[in-house]
Structure 1
Amino acid sequence: MIKQFVRTSILSCASIAVLAGCGITESAHQPANHNRAQLQGVPKNIIMVVADGMGPAYTTAYRNYVDDPTTPNIEPVVFDDILVGNASTYPAQVSGYVTDSAAAATALASGVKSYNGAIGVDVNKQPVNSVMYYAKSKSMRTGLAVTSQIVHATPASYIAHNESRKNYNEIADDFFDVRVNGEFVADVMLGGGTSYFEREDRDILAQFIDAGYEYADSYNRLASVPAGSNVLGLFAPVALPAVLDDKRKNRLKYLTKNAIKHLENDNGFFLLVEASQVDWAGHANDIASAMAEMHDLAITMEYLRDYVEANPDTLVVLTADHSTGGLTIGANGDYRWSPEHLKSLSASVMTIALEMANEENPGEFVAAKLGLSLTEQELATLNSISNQDDKTRLSAVKTFLDTKTNTGWTTGGHTGVDVEVFAFGAGYQSFMGQIDNTDIAKKIFSFIDKKQPAKIAFPSKKVSTNIELTSDEDDDELCDFKEDWRCN
């Protein structure tokens, strides 16, 4: 199995190429207390934020969504203040021009292009090193905070190695089994996914607890964990609820803040943060959840901007792995977008569609949940679908909101457009301009490489831009990922 390679891995990353800077002047929007040396220096702490599925239309839509209509201008939002460039997202050639989250996350985590579905492996299905793994080898503390299950494509690619993103249980095994000089790759893991860690065939949750990790199964319990702890926080069987349905409307900020509380130390930390469900809203063509998830991300970025003001030796990078849904602001030849209809929802469209079937007056129930005053005709339309199946009701409510807002979608999948790159803090200038998603990992590798010599259990075999993983077992006893798609 691939984990057998990783357990006995030899680190060989003695040097990583440093890409030339763009020579662009400092942004006027960067925190005021950052001097030039700090901005161009080596960060002590690195926070990588991935907004899954967030194409450029999402940030524009969010700006309009939160705009104050009583003023003549559209006010800038946090994303406008920290924009530094764009990144291409295409996967390895075998998968064409449009990436999935796994290939994109592998690129962002390791600097290596791979095929769609790959988790921390290259096109030959051989394991590649991630920036989180490398940070751990440099004695930095490491962690992740996501709103999906923590074994989902993006967080998995920073820790695990598997030929298929669908192998959730095997990926969960890797969270415990993959080690860096005997230590776990991540000190803090926050998100969903209890069902993958507490299984009949293996209780990984118990293993982490026995290994000294604090366990939190609720947001409130997480708050009581002593600072500086190793923490496994799993707050749902699979993913967290949509933010519109969650009791914490700032859940990503909350998880991020708590992760930092446990990661701060004299040697620095690497933290992965993912706004996972922007993507899911895009797949569902659900504009209400898309804007709500974007708001959850925006307040997280505002918190991180304040954190960097107080800790200017910290670098924050935000990008998307790809764009989802082909969101358009305006549709059907009508030069209009009306986000005011999205501001008062008290539940997700999914929850509304499921619950309306049990209501005596479904139209009025939907109107109340949407926070809208509807016409008699609109109420009648909603009443007419209440006896349909769940899928039909969900589609009808989403279409209703698309019509009210004049939102368009081109697909239920991904698109191949470039995505925006945002950065601030120490060394942020390295991410300016037009780059590739792999460049983000390479630049982070470079920053980590400059901190201090890695603590390596065995001597390096060669200089590489990634980790070469080898084994002390006979090769013919191991899974051959060049030939075998699945390994047991």
Structure 2
Amino acid sequence: MMIRLTCLAASLLLTACAQSPQQSAASSEPETPRNIIFMIGDGMGANYLTAYRYFLAEGKQQQIKPTIYDELWTGISSTWPDDQTLVTDSAASATALATGYKTFNGAISVDQQHLPIGTLMQQAKRLGKANGIVASSQVNHATPAAFLAHNPSRRNMDAIADHYFDIRVEGQLVPDLMFGGGARHFIRDDRNLVAEFQAEGYQYADSWQQLTQLSQAPALALLADNGLPSVLNQEKEAPLQVMTEKALELLADHPKGFVLMVEGSQIDWCGHANDIACAMAEMHDFARAIQSAKAFVDANPDTLLIITADHETGGLALAADGIYEWRADLIYGVQYTVREITRRMMKLEPAELADQWRHWTGLTLSDEQLTEVQTVHQQQPELYALLNGYINKATRTGWTTDGHTAADVPVMAYGAGAEQFTGFMDNIDIAKRIMGFIQQSAN
């Protein structure tokens, strides 16, 4: 069934926010960006930015310097959903960022009555712009889904993938480019969406080599069955940066400009796992993608780069156990995610555990710790908990939860219109300001 949305939340188009508090009523109008690069660090609270700053410093002999995040930081945002919990999930927060409306946890761009809410990418398509999605998760995961689909449950991932093809705006597919994982949701026994996209003229890639060979939009690249491997566990250098640069290359010459959403998806996954080395690796990949986006803005000053998070994950604390210390230097010795180290440790003989642990983490097991590991080393949950605890204890890293928190999240902006994203705002304000720019640039 073809779903056609020809009139998309007209009221949203009239709700662009007024001038920021820093602007006087007599000041000139801000420059309207032709292109929007919207980057979302899933789970990336302000504490993650602080951690990344000190993480880099430990790699540079304690020379603490501002990172790319610090250089672009302009404000902070609240993230509460419309369901009385105060703690949002990615679906509700991404809906707020994509539509300018609050909704309930789990919802993909639908309201409390499960009716579709028009998204900024649907608006952009109606006004002649191109749209792109880049994610290190499945491209139909909660955050990217909120920009392109409508469903009362983020878990209906096959149906969400179907929407990417079935939803049309004035006869046109909404996404012009999608890079990430999720092939199993697009090539299924009941439907082959890849073939359908190819029949509509989309170039397709299912490997990194093929991604580099894509020459024009529309394009689809599905590089894993599910999410991409964690940065720590794969050989590909800076995967999110590579996808971002290719996306910008293919969208750059669109005559009416573009909207590109880039999600650092797995910062959140590392936070859920309470895995600090994993989190810093994903933050580094996201930072490199931001560097590439900033370089694009420098070369194309009619572009706005806006960066935020959907929520904070894990309640990350840079110190623990009452000790005034955070050992970021020890994170550099951890070669894989804790889940991958656990998987490898379970394949070893008891006599090999201590040496391999030291090789994979740079840490030494005490006699007591070695006995604990040997006791549970064939029991995955128990072994994982032990190993993760050893790394967190050594680095003095604290976590309050393996879920999300209600903490406010940072906002960063650069380029045309960046002055509209200073100070405190709610996540729906970000969407409203972006949608206002999209409308203005089409006039």
Short-chain TM bin: over 0.9
Shift of 1:220: 1.2
Q: Which of 33, 55, 72 is the aligned partner of 1:43?
A: 33
What CA distance in whole angstroms lies between the structure 2 residues aligned with 1:96 and 1:375? Answer: 41
Greater mean deviation of Cα atoms: 78-87 or 297-306: 297-306
| 1:84 matches 2:77 | no
Shift of 1:244: 0.5
What CA distance in whole angstroms lies between the structure 1 residues aligned with 2:111 and 2:406? Answer: 20
Q: Which of 98, 120, 128 is the aligned partner of 1:131?
A: 120
Structure-1 residue corresponding to 2:278: 289
Residue type of the partner of 1:418? D
Alignment of 1:279-428 (within 5 A): 279-360=268-349, 361-370=352-361, 372=362, 374=364, 377=367, 380-381=370-371, 383-385=373-375, 387-428=377-418
Structure-1 residue corresponding to 2:241: 253
What CA distance in whole angstroms lies between the structure 1 residues aligned with 2:274 and 2:62? Answer: 30
Q: Which of 11, 15, 31 is the aligned partner of 1:17?
A: 15
Structure-2 residue corresponding to 1:144: 133
Structure-2 residue corresponding to 1:476: none
| Contact 1:357-1:386 within 8 A present in 2 as well | no
Shift of 1:373: 5.0
Shift of 1:261: 1.2
Assess, with a 3 A threshold, how the Cα gap between structure 1 residues 333 and 211 changes in structure 2: closer, same or farther.
Answer: same
Shift of 1:71: 5.7
Residue type of the partner of 2:15? A
What CA distance in whole angstroms lies between the structure 2 residues aligned with 1:10 and 1:17? Answer: 16
Structure-2 residue corresponding to 1:28: none
Residue type of the partner of 2:32? V
Assess, with a 3 A threshold, how the Cα gap between structure 1 residues 20 and 12 changes in structure 2: closer, same or farther.
Answer: closer
What CA distance in whole angstroms lies between the structure 1 residues aligned with 2:339 and 2:375? Answer: 14
Counting helix residues as a fraction of each chain, which structure ranks higher? Answer: 2
Assess, with a 3 A threshold, how the Cα gap between structure 1 residues 230 and 315 changes in structure 2: closer, same or farther.
Answer: same
Shift of 1:437: 0.2
Alpha-carbon deviations, 1:20-69, whole Å to 9, x = none? 222438xxxxxxxxxx98x9301111000010001111111111111047
| Contact 1:363-1:383 within 8 A present in 2 as well | no
Shift of 1:386: 6.0
Structure-1 residue corresponding to 2:250: 262
Shift of 1:11: 3.9
Assess, with a 3 A threshold, how the Cα gap between structure 1 residues 68 and 393 changes in structure 2: closer, same or farther.
Answer: closer
Shift of 1:344: 3.0
Could you tell me which runs of 5 or more consecutive residues in structure 1 were left unpaired when the two chains were aligned: 26-35, 454-488
Residue type of the partner of 1:10? C
Identity of aligned residues (%): 40
| Contact 2:264-2:286 within 8 A present in 1 as well | yes
| 1:243 matches 2:231 | yes
Q: TM-score, normalised by structure 2?
A: 0.94
| Contact 2:373-2:383 within 8 A present in 1 as well | no
What CA distance in whole angstroms lies between the structure 2 residues aligned with 1:173 and 1:98? Answer: 29
Shift of 1:205: 1.3
Could you tell me which runs of 5 or more consecutive residues in structure 2 were left unpaired when the two chains were aligned: none
| Contact 1:87-1:437 within 8 A present in 2 as well | yes
| Contact 1:363-1:379 within 8 A present in 2 as well | no
1:343 counterpart SS class: helix
What CA distance in whole angstroms lies between the structure 1 residues aligned with 2:204 and 2:194? Answer: 8
Shift of 1:366: 2.0
Residue type of the partner of 1:13? A
What CA distance in whole angstroms lies between the structure 2 residues aligned with 1:235 and 1:70? Answer: 34
Higher-RCO chain (CA-CA 8 Å, sequence separation at least 6): 1
Shift of 1:211: 1.4
Shift of 1:271: 0.2
What CA distance in whole angstroms lies between the structure 2 residues aligned with 1:278 and 1:367? Answer: 25
Residue type of the partner of 1:411? T
2:255 counterpart SS class: coil
What CA distance in whole angstroms lies between the structure 2 residues aligned with 1:169 and 1:364? Answer: 44
Moved over 3 A (4+): 68-73, 375-379
| Contact 1:356-1:386 within 8 A present in 2 as well | no
Residue type of the partner of 2:422? M
Shift of 1:249: 3.1
What CA distance in whole angstroms lies between the structure 2 residues aligned with 1:72 and 1:336? Answer: 14
Structure-2 residue corresponding to 1:203: 192
Shift of 1:375: 5.5
Alignment of 1:110-189 (within 5 A): 110-189=99-178
Alpha-carbon deviations, 1:156-189, whole Å to 9, x = none? 0000000101101110110110011111110000
Residue type of the partner of 1:146? A
What CA distance in whole angstroms lies between the structure 1 residues aligned with 2:436 and 2:217? Answer: 28
Assess, with a 3 A threshold, how the Cα gap between structure 1 residues 209 and 23 changes in structure 2: closer, same or farther.
Answer: same
Assess, with a 3 A threshold, how the Cα gap between structure 1 residues 354 and 71 changes in structure 2: closer, same or farther.
Answer: closer
Aligned residues: CA RMSD: 2.0
| Contact 2:88-2:406 within 8 A present in 1 as well | yes
Shift of 1:368: 1.1
Q: Across the two proteins, how many residue pairs are aligned to each other?
A: 436
Q: TM-score, normalised by structure 1?
A: 0.86
Structure-1 residue corresponding to 2:56: 66
What CA distance in whole angstroms lies between the structure 1 residues aligned with 2:94 and 2:331? Answer: 30
| Contact 2:38-2:262 within 8 A present in 1 as well | yes
